Chain A
Amino acid sequence: MNWEMSKIVRTVTDIMVVPIIVYGIYLIVHGHLTPGGGFQGGAVIASSTALLIIAYGSFRDHKADLSSIESIGLTLFIILALLGLFLGATMFHNYSAGTGGLFGGTVPQGINPGYINTGGTVPLMNIMVGLEVAAALSLILLMMGKASDSVEVEA
């Protein structure tokens, strides 16, 4: 695109993009404690991409990077599911819940304040799905921006 928005919009975008991405990462990582999760956090991160595209109009071609991130996220998600099949009982079995290690803490039964180091494979799957959704929605936005760039609009 050969246009960009005014300096006010670009400055506000610069300020707002970082909190938006941080909030998306928070939604993804705290998916097993609070409302939210991989899909929602990924959509929030993709909205920062939309903001950047609208404000700046020009962007480098990140198609290959985003495509790789999306494929890696989905592949790791399927690998985690299959690990549940081989290490546990069934596909998507939560084999590492309460066994110590990464996200392996135990939750006190009933009402509790919520501890981040719990959940077994659930937070890992949240992160993988978050990667996949953020990359996929950003990729769709980028491709649509490119397509609208190459079509001349009648003024």
Chain B
Amino acid sequence: MRKLVAFLAIMIIFAFLVITAVELRGDDGGFGEPVNTEMDEYFLENSQSHNQVNNIVTAILFDYRGLDTLGEATVLFAAVSGVLTVLRKMKPVKRGGKR
């Protein structure tokens, strides 16, 4: 019974995702031609004149969406802080002998 409920739930979620993906495409276009393209076209047209950068991906990463990059860097910093805290002092362990 539980397995059946879990299976039905997964099927419903998956159907929701598929239907949403199908709904996202344009009326006349197929996949690869999304409905909302204003933002992409804005970036493609303006990142060279705004940022003097050829690489538009880098322009988005470090200028338009700079706060997200800061968040990524902070996540990495937090990960390293956690590793340094957990692995601060390690005692040698002898296995198999007397504890």
A146 touches B90 (CB 8 A): yes
Closest A residue to B55 using CB positions: A32
B80 touches A129 (CB 8 A): no
Known: A109-B48, A126-B62. A32 touches B76 (CB 8 A): no
- Does A20 touch B at the CB level, under 8 Å? no
Closest A residue to B45 using CB positions: A109
Number of contact residues on B: which range applies? 35 or more
Provide the residues of chain A in CB contact with B70, threshold 8 Å. Answer: 77-78, 81, 92
Provide the residues of chain B in CB contact with A121, threshold 8 Å. Answer: 62-63
Interface residues of B in 26-66 (CB under 8 A from A): 48-55, 57-59, 61-63, 66
With contacts defined as CB atoms under 8 Å apart, how many contacts are there between chain A and chain B in the complex? 124
How many chain-A residues does the 8 Å CB contact rule pick out?
Answer: 51
Least distance between B59 CB and chain A CB atoms (Å): 7
Provide the residues of chain B in CB contact with A104, threshold 8 Å. Answer: 52
A135 to B98, CA, bound (A): 40
Cβ-neighbour of B63 out of A31, A92, A132 (below 8 A): A92
A143 touches B83 (CB 8 A): yes
Interface residues of B in 68-99 (CB under 8 A from A): 69-70, 72-74, 76-77, 79-80, 83-84, 87, 90-96
Provide the residues of chain A in CB contact with B54, threshold 8 Å. Answer: 32-33, 107, 112, 114, 118
A97 touches B76 (CB 8 A): no
Which residues of B are in contact with A by a Cβ distance under 8 Å?
A: 48-55, 57-59, 61-63, 66-67, 69-70, 72-74, 76-77, 79-80, 83-84, 87, 90-96
24 contacts between A and B (CB under 8 A): A32-B58, A34-B55, A35-B55, A37-B62, A67-B84, A81-B70, A92-B62, A92-B66, A94-B52, A104-B52, A106-B52, A109-B48, A112-B54, A118-B53, A121-B63, A122-B62, A122-B63, A125-B69, A129-B62, A132-B73, A132-B76, A133-B73, A143-B83, A151-B93
